[in-house]
Every structure is written in structure tokens, then in C-alpha cells.
Structure 1
């Protein structure tokens, strides 16, 4: 059975209405939470958008640049957050923005959406005593949502003293994203404590999973040691190096995995990390990753956190290339009116598709060739039609120098030129 809660909230003195639906299925696990659907009206650059069904495991949002992928993630985060920021704005020249989100989770978690800055209306039990009770529950718990924005790398930090105290309140704002501040301190502290008899199993489990993160993309890499200089050392094919000497791609992937582990350990200390069954938002997941790793990162995340629901955005065809059909949310539209494109052409997923096919048929790219090539090809075709041998040979020489040696376009142009030269003799 579905129930609903509706709120009006002020962001930058602008009204944005949030409507939340939730399930009261008593058979659900107490901590389980999954996003089922989302509707947005007049928020940011989005005039209208309806995503009727999210996959319970992996959701990959793609579309042309500026279509509103980050705006969608921010909207979801705002629905599951107790504080206000200046990130979300209603569309210009509209009276109110609306976000309607539907979740599948235990009714005992309904308080997640109720904070005292909202004006709740039209839901069962809307009394001051009921609201106070739900708000108290919220303050004692936090939404099962983790948001990783594009800031993932952190520079070298000399550890002269460990920051061992984590302020849980700083981890409860889903709108700012997971912070890398003190991530190195967190790893060192947990590694030092992992061998102590008083360290609980959850904390030991968290640090072991964090150490495995060094090899999840390439098994040739692994955690080596934490040495007296308080540096983290890694085994690599070229020898042992400090963590900071890893490539930005390696550190980005590790930062994502560490960010999730750290948030679960701090915010949900009674949950084993692999048992976390909330929602993880990741913006532009492909940042700093080599194309080969872009094709692995989603499977790495679902294997490392098998019970979580991921909602990510990407510009990378390599990320989509590993997806099942139901995992891709390809957006298109004009003037802010967006829709999820039907991808009936891929009923069994995209694992057999080429990058070019994904770019054109999924991501909406009109042509994978450069403007220079299209212009030269047009000139070449014009010269062929006019039987202009001199110009055709000149343009072909340019194509030969710049196209791939095995290009089928080059082979076709060579055949056409040979035909033209033969006719001219």
C-alpha cells in the first residue's frame, strides 16, 4: 500500500514543493530503501521529467551535456535531506517547482522526509504530536542515501597528528556530497585499530574492504603497509609506492569506494558495509578513469555493495556498454521538457554494442566523425560527381594522411578514386 506526504519548502526564497510516496509493506527490511520513481516540474532547467521506474540495483543517467543530469541527482538528494541549501532553484518565471519521489521502504522510515522546516500537509496522522515524534526519529537516524559529487581527489596530506573524532552531524547533509576531508586520517585510524581486541567486527570489516579497494580495478595492485611515516604504501607492478603516487584514475575509484564505506561506518555503525541497502548517488562516474576502467566501474560497485541501489550520471559510452537494458535512463527533450527514451532496440542490454552505436543511438550524438571529416567528405563527393580528377586526388591525399589506415571510409574513397582515374584515361 502506498501513502503520500507533501511539503512546500523555501530554497533561496523560492517555493519548491516536494511530494513523497512511501510503501508501508511490513515485510520489508527495516533499513531497506529504494527509489522507485521520480517526477520533476520547473526545477532548475527542467520544465518536466517523469522517470516511472528505477532499477533496484544500477541506474545510469545519460543524455546530451546540460540536459539536467546533475539536477536530477540534486533533486533526489533534497528529498532525503533535513537541511536547505542554495543548490536547488525553481525554473525562471514559474510560481513553484515540484519534486515527486516514490520510495519503497519500511513505513518506520517515513520520518526520513519530515523535518521541521517543512510545512507538511495532506497525510495521515498530521498532528503536532505525530510530527514531533517523527522528527525525533529523524534526529536519531539519518536517510539511507549517500551522494558522491565530482570532487573526489585529495592532495597529499602530511599526518603529524590523527584526527580521530568524526562529527556525525557533518555527514548527514546529502546535498554537499561526501567529503574527502580526513579520508586519509580515517583509513590510518582504522588500520591501526584493526588488530586491537576491542575493535568491533563492523570496523574490522570496513577497513578490510577499504584495503581491497586498491585491487578492485587491477589485481596487480594491493595494499602493502602503513609505515612509521604514516604513509599508506601500495604494491604495484613497478614496486611499492605511496598512495599519493597512484594515478588520478586509481585514486578516483578508491575515493568512491572509501567514501561509501566511510559514510556507512560513521552513519550506520550497526550495519555491515556489504549489507547497506540504501541509495548511492554518483555524479559523472567516469571522471579521471581510463576507458577500460570506465567499462568496469559499475560492476565493481555492484559487487562491492551488492544490496545498494546506484543512481549515477555519465557522459561515457564505455560505462553504458556494460549495462543491461533496464539500467540505462537515456534522456532527450527540448526547452527543458525531458523524457526517458525507449530503448527497445536493446532488449538484452548493450554488452555487444560498439562505442559508436551507443554514442548515436543511445546518447543522441548525430555523428561520431569530426566536422573536418564531414566537410572533406562532402568536397570529395562533389569532386567525384563533377569528374574533377585533380581535386578528387588532392582531397583523397588529405583523407589518407588523417584517417585511420584501416578505415573503411578510406578504402571506399580509394575505390571511388580509382574508378574516377580509370574513366579519365
Structure 2
């Protein structure tokens, strides 16, 4: 498991320290404060490669560089044979981060789902160093990093060797064989579905064009039509891609471990940026608990850890029944005023997870920092009305105008109405 990260002189904050929970870790904060950056750093700490370094087609996942002075990244994780604890510094002359000589620790299977639809997989059976004539070498692919298009169409090396067939070909092949991989895919899709009434069920394979000879998988919609996966909605494509990579990564890992006659991964670490991306609220309520269950069921003998960034109050509300302070953690990024220099500064805080019982209450928590769970217009009107209720000199015309504004922004059953109408009628402002 990734145990800790300490970052100094790199990214949006002068320094950040994270002591991770062993199971679930949540990252919240406004856009641009460093959530994706922290996930990139986590991936690099575990694999020692930046995603865009392996696949230049990516538009994210680039190497982190110091903002000024000497940058340091300290990380600690539990490895297969030993724990890894190391401080890496950036060397301007070589434009890279220092690494410990010799064979690094093995962090287990590492998966990274980026917000733009890219995916990365590091497999200890396929990407770790190998011994050749008693010497450690790195002749294997350093990791599998897919651009959004390669997720669906397959991943090849520069010399045109196929590393992955991609979702479309693999799904079609698994469905024709109807073996373990396809049964596992169906199960994963079922678990990740938003409800029993809206199950993601594979339909019949089909062709979509005279010029495309591929058999295209389909998904059966609630209205009983089989829709080719390439025409599915963004949310459904996101879930299908997550399901595919969970199955593909574990199936390929098990086969490689068997060929090498070595044990399967002792732990699985899954990094997900914007886990709610493209998803309907009904899906957002279910996705994190479903992923935790799936990781445990796929890798039954391995420890599993999920680290995810989110902008969704429903995600935070959905984990309330699951959150365990002994093995889970919530980290929040905020803009704060630096008392010494009197300038705004990004600050990372590990916050206490308090069950709020309602997603709207999460909007007004430290996670999202909204003054209310209303529109800006409603919030301003309520503030004006609340201040008006304190005044003794409010005119009838002012009260009538406020009443009109309230009617435009509040629902008929809003609790503020009772207070407003009672006071306004008592004072004779409204008839």
C-alpha cells in the first residue's frame, strides 16, 4: 500500500504531506489546487515513470517540476519483499528525478484511471525488472499507458507490436469464447450498474459499417435495444472502460504470473481521478462502494487500496456507511492566507470525516466550501431577506419587493417561507 507522500517545492503548495489510509482515500478541493497532480505523483512514486513519459500521446500525466529551488518528493509504500522509503530530488542538469540504484521495491498491481479517459497499468509480472545472466535489466515494457483512443482500439509499441487489443476487440473475443474473462466482465458490469433496473448487460455483437470488419460489442439498454459501445453515452463508456481495465489488468496479470511460475500480486492500488466523471447522480451514489467490492472480489488474496479525487457531494455522501477511520482518509485542498507573507497559498489538510446524512450538507462542508446548497441568486436573496427581518425601519414597498424576489428563487415548500411570512405579516409588511 502507498503509505505516505511528502512533497516540497513542487506543485501548487510549498509543501504537502499525506499519510494514506490502507483502504480508501478521498481527495477534494477546487479546480487547479492539485488533486490530479497528487495522483500523478502517487503513480510516479509507485512505478518511477510519468504516464506521458511512457506514452507521449497523453495530454496529462507529465513530469512534475520544481516551482523554485530544489524540489523533493519523499514516498513510502509496502513492497512485496521490503518497504520502500526514499527521497527523490530534481536534478536540473539531467532534467529528471533521482532514483535509488538497483532493483526497486515491487508495489503490486497499480492501476490509474485519469480524468480524460486515459488509463495506465503497472504489472509486477509484466513490467518489473527481469534477471538476465544474474543481472537485473529493464527490457520489459515499463508500464502500459493508454490514450483515450487506445483504450478502445488497442495499444502498440513504436515497432508495431500489440501490447493490448483494446476494449472493442478484447470484449468481442471474450464474448465469442464465453469463458472466464467474459463471465468476469459481465459480473463487473453488473456490479457497476446504477440499479437492478438499469443493468449494463452485453448484447449481441454487431457490425456498424461496411468499411469496418470488427465485431463491435453492444450493451442492452433499459428500453431493450442493443446499442454499439462506440455509440454509448459518455457515462456508460466511462464505466465500461473501468470494467474492462479491471478485468483486463487482472486477467493478464494472472496469466503472466502463471507463465513465470510466481505468486499473484500481493496488493492492488487503484488511482482514479474524478471518479464521478460523466456519471448520473444514481451512478455517483454507487460507484465508490462498488469499486471497493470489485477490487476485493477480483483480487481475493491481495490487499486493495483506492485513492480517488472527486468534486461530487454525492460521492462523499455515498461512502458514509463505508468510511472506517482506522483504514480510510479524507484530504482536502484549500486556498488560505499565508500569515507570514500575506499571500494566498494552497494548503492540504487531512480532515475528520463526519457523517452528514445529506448530500446537500456536503456542499456546505469543508469539502466544497459553498455558503449554501442553492443558486447564487437564491443565496443572495435569502441573505437580503434575513437582514431585512432584523430591521425595524423596513418599508412596505421594500418588503413587497423582497417577497417577489423570494417567490422567484424559492420552492413552494422551502422552510424559509414560514419564517418570512410569519414575521412579515406580524409587522404588517404583507397583507
* TM-score, reference length from structure 2: 0.70
Question: 1:291: which partner in 2?
Answer: 281
Question: 1:78: which partner in 2?
Answer: 44
After TM superposition, the structure 1 = structure 2 runs for residues 20-169 of structure 1, keeping only pairs within 5 Å, are: 34-52=1-19, 54-83=20-49, 85=53, 87-92=62-67, 94-107=68-81, 119-120=98-99, 131=102, 134=103, 144-152=109-117
- Structure 1 residues 234 and 382: alpha-carbon distance in aligned structure 2, compared to 1, 3 A threshold: closer
* TM-score, reference length from structure 1: 0.71
Distance, in Å, in 1 between the alignment partners of 2:85 and 2:147 is: 21
Displacement after TM superposition at 1:340 (Å): 2.1
**Equivalent residue for 2:308, pick from 312, 323, 333:** 312
Distance, in Å, in 1 between the alignment partners of 2:16 and 2:86 is: 24
Distance, in Å, in 2 between the alignment partners of 1:284 and 1:119 is: 30
Question: 1:172: which partner in 2?
Answer: 143
**Equivalent residue for 1:246, pick from 232, 256, 269:** 232
Question: 1:184: which partner in 2?
Answer: 168
Distance, in Å, in 1 between the alignment partners of 2:266 and 2:240 is: 18
Gap regions ≥5 residues in structure 2:
54-60, 89-93, 120-125, 128-139, 154-166, 209-214, 259-263, 297-302, 337-343
- Structure 1 residues 97 and 175: alpha-carbon distance in aligned structure 2, compared to 1, 3 A threshold: farther
Distance, in Å, in 2 between the alignment partners of 1:178 and 1:276 is: 31
Q: How many residues get paired?
A: 347
Contact 2:8 2:15 in 1 (8 A): yes
Gap regions ≥5 residues in structure 1:
1-33, 155-166, 196-203
Contact 1:148 1:283 in 2 (8 A): yes
Please list the CA deviations of residues 199-242 of structure 1 after superposition, one character each: whole Å capped at 9, or x if unmatched: xxxxx433322223433323343223324772323333311312
- Aligned alpha-carbon RMSD (Å): 3.6
Question: 1:414: which partner in 2?
Answer: 421
Distance, in Å, in 1 between the alignment partners of 2:108 and 2:80 is: 12
Displacement after TM superposition at 1:72 (Å): 0.5
Q: Does 1:259 align with 2:240?
A: no
- Structure 1 residues 370 and 310: alpha-carbon distance in aligned structure 2, compared to 1, 3 A threshold: same
Displacement after TM superposition at 1:316 (Å): 0.4
Displacement after TM superposition at 1:383 (Å): 4.6
Contact 2:74 2:87 in 1 (8 A): no
Please list the CA deviations of residues 143-183 of structure 1 after superposition, one character each: whole Å capped at 9, or x if unmatched: 621111012399xxxxxxxxxxxx98668156979951422
